[in-house]
Amino acid sequence: MGFLHRGHLSLIRKSKTQVDISIVSIFVNPTQFAPNEDLEQYPRNINKDKILLEQEGVDILFIPDATEIYSSDFQTFVTVEEITNRLEGKFRPTHFRGVTTVVAILFNCIKPDLAFFGQKDAQQATVIKRMVTDLQFNIKVVVCPIVREKDGLALSSRNVFLNEKQRKEALVLSRSLKLAKRMINSGIKNSDIITKKMSEIILSVASSKPDYIKIVKSENFEEEKKLKNGKRYFVLVACKIGKTRLIDNLLIKA
């Protein structure tokens, strides 16, 4: 959705190692924002984005207008069931329908062989992979690792909304994930014990208002109360720091 940072650029660099032509689409998608969300405030700087993309050697930049994607009488949507009712889908009920619809449209416009998404939006990437499988798109979805600042904060376009104090307080998200990793690696398998300790870290700063702290199966995002050896899980956090909603996650094998 633009306002590019090193996380986005890492997807481009990955693409250029695997394909002949790299195409970037920039589109702030209105259908994935609820009426009370930050569509109008979402950060934009298309001129800076163009410079960064030229420096990365991107072959094509696709910047459609909203009217090119959605006609005035648009009425067709793509919906992935079950997984979209959990976590982000519970807190943002219309979000994933907007995501899958616009990604399906962009796929039909561009017809890529591979599509690169970031793990920071882990549930979104899993939903898109499900859509690609179910609708038999001839596309391989490649999920790339989270890119972080040196102090651990996951890169996000919304980080620009954090003031200096909130920026420091936002580190409780990555700190809680590091704690979860240490606990799981030490042999603790009870999700409630792990997430309770994570919650203590996140609530240690006054500006935090967590939406959820969960451990889920990586394939379908169902909650798991007792972790099983050898299985892969996402440890997930969604939390407001002040008025800015941030998400972060860790993919780990128990």
Measured in degrees and rounded to the nearest 5, phi and psi for residue 62 equal -110, 110
pTM of the model: 0.95
Enclosing H/E stretch for 245: strand 244-253
| CATH number of domain containing 23 | 3.40.50.620
pLDDT of residue 38: 87
156 in any annotated domain: no
The domain of 202 spans 161-253
73 in any annotated domain: yes
Indicate which residue of 2, 4, 8, 122 is catalytic.
Answer: 8
pLDDT of residue 36: 85
Q: For residues 131 and 117, what is the distance between their CA atoms, to the nearest angstrom?
A: 14
96 in any annotated domain: yes
Residues 171 and 233 in one domain: yes
Q: For residues 72 and 112, what is the distance between their CA atoms, to the nearest angstrom?
A: 27
151 in any annotated domain: no
pLDDT of residue 237: 98
Number of compact structural domains in the chain: 2
Residues 20 and 140 in one domain: yes
> How high is the mean pLDDT in each 10-residue block of the chain (254 residues)?
97 98 97 91 96 98 96 97 96 95 98 98 98 98 98 97 98 98 98 98 98 97 96 98 97 96
Question: Is 8 annotated in the active site?
Answer: yes
